[in-house]
Structure 1
Amino acid sequence: MRIFISADMEGITGLVDADDVQPGGRDYERGRLAMTGDVNAAVRGAVRAGATEIVVNDAHGPMRNLMTDSLHPAARLIRGKPKTMGMIEGLTGDYDAMVCVGYHARAGAHGVLSHSFMGHEIEDMWLDGRAAGEIGLVQASAAALGVPLAVLTGDDAACAEATAWDGAVATVPVKYVRSRFAAELRPENEARAAIEETVARTLGELSRGEAGTADSADESGDSSAATSTLAVRWQSSAVAETLLGIPGVTAVDPRTVQAAGTPPDLFRQFGVWMRVASALTNQAPYC
């Protein structure tokens, strides 16, 4: 059984503030340790379930957050950036399941450190007309590749968002939102034991054919043939205007652009959109 783990940081046990998750923040180094602890709990669960290959993709910010010398030895790590597929770099249809660790709710949601990919530079996103963030786009891309999102960890808002996209996803809330920068925290040992146990149980059920699988968007069974539309509203009209120079990108309004394609192709193209936006703006992620 081959398992892919995508690890973000805002939804990690104990973390609630930008200083916890941004390089240079006063608690960032502690945040890195916490992130590694949550990921290791997921890896232990995958090992218990019989995983023969586990690949972890560091999916947050600089994508050099996980402590390499403390990572569980059963996992291989994809580290650094740029990556063509960003948060799901390395994910292919050859994997049996995906686990998302430390994820957060979309921009505008009442969730801890909620945003969509780029802090407040992205005001909203829609996938096929449905409000989406990182969870929705990751889940849809994995499903299009035929890989079920088996488990997601994060705050309770992120967990609710994940099950809204796919009711078969098992979730582990490691904290409960009080505001965008405050939460009621589960004790670390309790949260990590829950991560390990949920991953072990869910992947075990999946390997035995007892768990649900990701929905295919195409009734023929060829999910790669399904076409979706991704729309993004930017804070700056300059970003939207510049993106119109990319073939296939069209305007919805002065600050919103859209494009059509399979979810994995849209994910890849969206990475280019973000690089354009980064070159045009200098916005702090959590203002």
Structure 2
Amino acid sequence: MEGITGLVDADDVQPGGRDYERGRSMMAEDVNAAVRGALAAGAHEILVNDAHGPMRNLRPDDLHPRARLVRGKPKQMIMLEGLTGEYDAMVCIGYHARAGAPGVLSHSFMGHEIEDIWLDGRPVGEIGLAHATAAALGVPVVALTGDDAACAEMTEWDPSVAAVPVKYAHDRFAAELRPAGEARTAIEAAVAAALVPAPPRPAPSVAEATLTVRWQSTTVPTTLLGLPGVTAENGRTIRATGQLPSLYRQFGVWMRVAASLTGQAPYC
């Protein structure tokens, strides 16, 4: 939701925020633009996964009638819930840059609780980790929308992905906004173009990967060391090795443990 057209502040994207209800409507409009683009390209089945915060941001009545919705939590596969190798492509709507990047509402999964993430030694955020996991399933990521920082992060990870900036970051809570109608026209066109011709599929992978996470404090990593396969690099940094998407699912368990131990607001 942080990368949705027009949204720049926690009050836009968190339940109870003064502009959250408006943010939900803006989110639905961006998603529906992507759905229209997919339908124009000939898609016959579209699954939307609401993966922001409470994962109940999209009101079903606001969603395009041709799309199915996965709503609510917990979800074992977080942002990739419902994705299987049977799907031809994945589209990422409303994404944001990783923790420490100069992007709108930038963070990695848990506000400031997670300071840094690496996948096989490469700095990664929600964008790269979702892309790598989808690729391991044999599903290509074909388009992404967000601010210019998120788009740059996606392009650095995979330049073949169509990246659509809907705003241009001035700071973490400020941006120059692309007009809403223009942004949604661009989303629809980019998704349609990315799906025709059919995008090439990556070969499903069973290779092992190493996920490393540095936390804000020692409380979470110390607790997670009780899980099989989790080892410590130092007092705040842990790692685990395994196959994607299983490693991604394990990371979801780490976050649920962290959420039970901490009560910090995500955009401090």
TM-score range, shorter chain: over 0.9
Which residue does 2:226 correspond to in 1?
Answer: 245
Q: Is 1:227 aligned to 2:208, yes or no?
A: yes
Alpha-carbon shift at residue 213 of structure 1 (Å): 4.6
* Counterparts of 1:162 and 1:181, CA distance in 2: 20
TM-score by length of 1: 0.92
TM-score, normalization: structure 2?
0.98
Is 1:18 matched up with 2:18? no
Asked if the contact 2:108–2:125 (Cα under 8 Å) also holds between the matched residues in 1, the reply is: yes
Q: 1:168 aligns with which of 160, 171, 177?
A: 160
* Map of 1:286 onto structure 2: 267
Given that residues 109 and 126 in structure 2 are in contact (C-alpha distance below 8 angstroms), is that contact kept between their aligned partners in structure 1?
yes
2:150 to 158, 161, 168: 158
SS across alignment from 2:167: strand
Aligned alpha-carbon RMSD (Å) = 0.9
- Aligned counterparts of 1:213 and 1:101: Cα–Cα separation in 2: 20
Deviation at 1:212, TM superposition (A): 5.0
Unaligned runs of 5+ in 1: 1-8, 215-220
Deviation at 1:35, TM superposition (A): 0.2
| Residue identity in the other structure for 2:13 | V
Aligned to 2:53: 61
CA contact (8 A) 1:117 1:134 kept: yes
Q: Does the CA contact (< 8 Å) of 2:206 and 2:244 recur in 1? A: no
**One-letter amino acid of the counterpart of residue 101, structure 1:** I
State the distance in 1 between where 2:200 and 2:77 align.
Answer: 26
Tell me how far apart the structure 1 counterparts of residues 258 and 194 of structure 2 sit (CA, whole Å).
Answer: 38
What CA distance in whole angstroms lies between the structure 2 residues aligned with 1:185 and 1:212?
A: 33
Q: Does 1:116 align with 2:108?
A: yes
- One of 24, 30, 42 as aligned partner of 1:38: 30
- Structure 2 counterpart of 1:185: 177
Q: Which amino acid aligns with 2:82?
A: G
Q: Is the 8 A contact 2:96 2:149 kept in 1?
A: yes
Following TM superposition, by how much is the alpha carbon of 1:262 offset from its aligned partner in structure 2, in angstroms? 1.6
Letter in 2 for 1:237: T
2:2 and 2:104 in contact (8 A); partners too:
yes
Any idea what SS the aligned residue of 1:118 has? Answer: coil
Q: Equivalent pairs: percent with the same residue?
A: 72
Deviation at 1:224, TM superposition (A): 2.7
Match of 2:64 in 1: 72
Q: What corresponds to 1:96 in structure 2?
A: 88
Contact 1:168-1:212 within 8 A present in 2 as well: no
> 1:198-241 CA distances to partner (integer Å, 9 max, x unpaired)?
00111122x2xxx4554xxxxxx4x3311100000001101000
Q: 1:11 corresponds to which letter in structure 2? A: G
Quick check: 2:88–2:201 contact (8 Å CA) kept in 1? no
CA–CA distance in structure 2, aligned partners of residues 228 and 86 of structure 1: 19
Q: Which amino acid aligns with 2:222?
A: E
Among 252, 255, 258, the alignment partner of 2:239 is: 258
Residue identity matched to 2:136: A
1:86 corresponds in structure 2 to 78
SS at match of 2:15: coil
Structure-2 residue corresponding to 1:236: 217
Deviations 1:107-154 (A, max 9, x none): 000100000000000000000001101001000000000000000000
Q: Which amino acid aligns with 2:122?
A: R
